[in-house]
Amino acid sequence: MTWNRISAGAGSKGERDYEWAWIAIIPPDDETGGHHSLLVRRRISDGELAFYRCWSAHPVPLRVLVRVAGTRWNVETCFQTGKTIGLDEPQVRRWDSWYRHITLVILAHAILTVIAARERDRHTDQTLIPLTLNEIRRLFTRLITNTAHTIDHWLHWSNWRRRHQARAKTSHYRRRGQPINQPTPT
């Protein structure tokens, strides 16, 4: 088994580099046809292994399988942000109540995602990270709740937090020896 160092995509702290091995397998009762393989991911820092069973209709290169396996991170991030909005707490007894709750949560998630994407496209200040979905949710929560502080206070707090996160991101990239991806101003 040969290990190949390939990135699973960009993460919050730089490229997600792992060592990958690829083994062709033949399932005992293969009625689907296609190509079956076992993809093994080894973490560089401590050697921890993760396994992916893969199927494709046609032969695909290792880089394609690694790219597809790397999308798991995006799916998990989406589930995590959905939980912060209320996807995991319906607390209802009837199907129609559950349906209304889930529909509103998914709508809120979609709205926050669109706002975050637009902010990321328009973002030009390199000393701040763009507004994230979670940061926008926090600001909306502060805006609609009755607190002792004004919205200006929370916007100032958000700018401070995002500036701190931008410095941390720069540090992580520098420590790993990777170039910092600077979005071009639009």
* Residue 139, H or E segment: helix 133-144
Q: What is the pLDDT of residue 186?
A: 33
* CB-CB neighbours of 109 under 10 Å: 19
Q: What is the pLDDT of residue 127?
A: 86
Domain boundary among 70, 94, 111: 70
Domain boundary among 70, 93, 115: 70
Q: What is the pLDDT of residue 144?
A: 82
Q: Are residues 94 and 9 in the same domain?
A: no
Domain boundary among 70, 88, 122: 70
Contact predicate 65/54, CB 8 Å:
yes
Q: What is the pLDDT of residues 98-137, one digit of tens each?
A: 899 889 988 988 998 899 899 888 888 888 888 888 888 8
Q: What is the pLDDT of residues 48-106, one digit of tens each?
A: 999 999 888 888 999 999 999 988 888 888 888 888 888 887 788 888 888 998 899 88
Q: Are residues 52 and 19 in the same domain?
A: yes
Domain carrying residue 51: 4-70
What is the percent of the chain where pLDDT is above 90? Answer: 19
Nearest partner of 50 among 76, 28, 14, judged by Cα: 76
